[in-house]
Chains A and B, each alone.
Chain A
Amino acid sequence: MMATATETSTPREPTQGAPADTIHITERAAKVMRAQLDKRGTPQGAIRFGIRGGGCTGYSYMFQFEDGDPRGTDKVVDAAFGVRVYVDPKSMVLIKGTTIDFETGMRGHGFKFANPNIGGSCGCGESVAF
């Protein structure tokens, strides 16, 4: 199934079963991304979202500006305000269904990733505690 452009204004409920191979970006998050891209002087730029690290030692998110074109195998997710987010196929396995939101609060402001693939809420039910 081809994933369609997602212009969600609220985080979607996690879907039943396996999430589709895409991620969601809330309008609020897209608005901040747009503002930061403009401020950086690269309104045509994109955001790269993925996972890096390896081994059995856990992963960390990669979340950065990307000035180049997407690589051939990248998935390009279109968000509101013309923001594009690139996700490489391997990272997609681990972050599909993630909703990127932007939060302001006591802990400061920043992007928040709700990743359904993490922890006990995932399909297999296996714990990840070391």
Chain B
Amino acid sequence: MVDIQEDPGALFQIEEPTSSAPKLRTPGLAIGIDLGTTHSLVALASHGAAPRALPDTSGQPLLHSVVSYVDGVTVGARAMAQRVSHPSDVIVSVKRFMGRGTADVATLPHPYRIQAPSAGEADVVRFDVAGDRRVTPMEVSAEILAELARRAEAELGQWPTGAVITVPAYFDDAQRQATKDAGRIAGLQVMRLLAEPTAAALAYGLDRGGQGLFAIYDLGGGTFDISILRLRDGVFQVLATGGDSALGGDDFDRAIAEHLLGVAGIEGDDRQMWAEALVAARAAKEALTDEVSVSVTLERAGLTGHELRREAVEALLEPIARRTIVACRATLKDAGLRPKELDGVVLVGGSTRVPLVRRLVAETFKQEPLGDIDPDKVVAYGAAVQADILSGSEREGVTLLDVVPLSLGLETMGGIVEKIIPRNATIPIGARQVFTNYSEKQTGMVVHVVQGERELADDCRSLAKFTLQGIPRLPPSMARVEVTFELDADALLTVTARELMTGVKQTVEVKPTYGLTDEEVDTLVMDSLDHAAEDFDARNLAEARVELGRVLLAVKTARVEVGHIDALLPPDERAQVDAAIAAAEAAMAGEGEESLVAVRERLEKVSEGFARRRMERALLAGMQGHTLHEIESAIAAEDDLAPRRGSHEPEQL
């Protein structure tokens, strides 16, 4: 029922609570994860080695970022297969929901059942899925992360000691925090969140060039990022970032799907039809990378053999692709650069395979972009390199400087935002500003932390709000409240307010508005444990069935062959074997009281002697006509093989 990975005889010592933090610096055991909107993958670059993506058992490195709750929890291609038939129970592109409240996602097109939070509940998106479960985007992402971590576990022989997870440069604090929490729920020690473009630059080894200016154009499934990096003296600095956290290849798919349904004359929003059209749209888009024309059939919508030509599709995609170009120009302007000043442009994300996109990028930046590393893997590669450095491997260190994606500020009188840390400031960074009282009666000050570029607090994203109490009664403008913002290397914010006369002080670690408290995250962590136990039981049951089926088939086959040869199977044993076979068949059919394992063990036990005698007889038959020498060498060869067979035993992970 429960598998606890400890030697049953192990002895334990009471640990200090702080020692529960896993050791970060275990060289070679940290992984890099690209948690993408459409695909995710894990890469490893242990001890300074070149990064490589870790494939699943069928050799596929890209994991569909899809989680199905239809039949337990499944992730990846198997979940994807259930998407058309269960559109509301199969969560796709969950990254768009990370760190968002229900109001934030109201305008996102999606087929999910999302209810407004009930009273007292944090405003977090919760998907109602099959099995009466409500899951948050963090939990869904955690399933994806855990799946990838298991690949790494199989490779490393142990659970990875740490992970670097990439996030779009545009992610705000709430989204970053949500990503970190997802890692925690998955049982991963998140050493660092790394901006995706920075990771891509690391993967290209742009750090080895000495210096230069680079643009990273990253068009993934659901997010678009454009970043301008400057490399000087072997140090990367992100000069500017821009983009759109709700624009990507999914929009291409949607545009094509809408077109297809339009051609089929379908209106309204039938979820299954929509899901089918999306799958077909994606396939058509991918096929048109190399082909000029593709034929599309939608069974549910009654569209048969519709021919889509590349030009027609490009006309559909161009308005969307143009939006990325607008963002590119704005970001270049932010960085104070002209296109020809760039030394290179890097393509990231599967959507940069679309020929139209490459063409537009080349036109805009007036140069052919770099795309020789697989654009799907380049980010994970960079994350793996960074993870290796952080785990303490002796890899040539690269100092990364990141920037604040959006300005951080405070709401002041009249709802005006006072910016404390401007956007694109390099992090880690601290900044402080002194505020004063507006009346003698004021003994408290509300500190409302917001993030965004707008001037009114209402238009910015609210990150936290707290009240500093105990300000002494002083005439207007005489009290002095100093507010300090400290942004750590993961771009997570701590805000401190201190009244300078009395020294009264209050600090909040900004848990951005998606607003899970530590306790709630803990609960989620424990919930994931809960379901892990369920999943584990389900898996054990399935394995027990397979194992019993295998033994049953072998014994029955032998039993039929032997018939009533008493020398091989004496009557009393025969009765026992037959009874055990009957019990096993009943158990397979779901009848009987005994567990599958107990039935299998009995079947193996009663057929032991019978199996041995059969084996001996077969050996004897095999030996006839052979010399003693031949037999001895056959036995020796068998002995040689034994230890190697042993090594193929499933290893305890």
Contact = CB atoms under 8 A, between A and B. Distances in A.
The finding on whether chains A and B are genuine partners in a shared complex, rather than unrelated, reads yes
Interface of A: 33, 36, 47-48, 51-67, 71, 88-91, 93-94, 103, 107-113, 115, 117-120, 122-130
Contact of B597 (A57, A107, A126): A126
B536 A56 contact: yes
B117 to A, nearest CB: 21
Chain B binding site: helix, strand, loop or mixed by DSSP?
helix
A54 B17 contact: no
Contacts of B270: none
Nearest to B525: A54
B653 to A, nearest CB: 6
Contacts of B528: 54
Given A51-B4, A57-B150, A88-B526, A127 B597 contact: yes
B442 interface: no
A66 B19 CA distance: 12
B32 to A, nearest CB: 19
B15 A128 contact: no
Given A51-B4, A61-B6, A118-B4, A93 B533 contact: yes
Contacts of B5: 53, 57-60
A51 B533 CA distance: 12
A111 B6 CA distance: 13
B26 interface: no
Contacts of B533: 93-94
Contacts, number: 144
B interface bracket (residues with beta carbon within 8 Å of A): 35 or more
Interface in B121-158: 146, 149-150, 153
B146 A55 contact: yes
Given A54-B532, A56-B539, A71 B519 contact: yes
Interface string B3-17: 111101111111111
B186 A54 contact: yes
Contacts of B650: 129-130
Given A57-B153, A64-B14, A64-B17, A125 B595 contact: yes
B532 A111 contact: no
A89 B14 CA distance: 20
Given A117-B2, A126-B597, A127-B540, A55 B8 contact: no
Contact of A113 (B12, B20, B519, B532): B12
A56 B535 contact: yes
B409 to A, nearest CB: 34
Interface of B: 1-6, 8-17, 19-20, 146, 149-150, 153, 159, 185-187, 519, 525-530, 532-533, 535-537, 539-541, 544, 594-598, 650, 652-653
The 5 A-B pairs of least Cβ separation, nearest first, read A110-B11, A125-B595, A58-B5, A90-B526, A128-B3
22 contacts: A53-B5, A54-B185, A55-B187, A57-B5, A57-B150, A57-B159, A59-B529, A60-B4, A61-B6, A63-B12, A64-B20, A66-B17, A88-B526, A94-B2, A94-B4, A108-B11, A112-B12, A113-B12, A125-B598, A127-B540, A128-B2, A128-B540
Given A58-B5, A61-B6, A64-B20, 10 more contacts: A55-B186, A56-B539, A57-B159, A59-B4, A111-B14, A113-B12, A117-B1, A120-B597, A126-B596, A129-B650
B248 to A, nearest CB: 29
B9 A107 contact: yes
Most buried by B among A53, A66, A89, A91: A53
Contacts of B186: 54-55
A53 B187 contact: yes
A110 B117 CA distance: 47
Contacts of B1: 117-118, 122-124, 126, 128
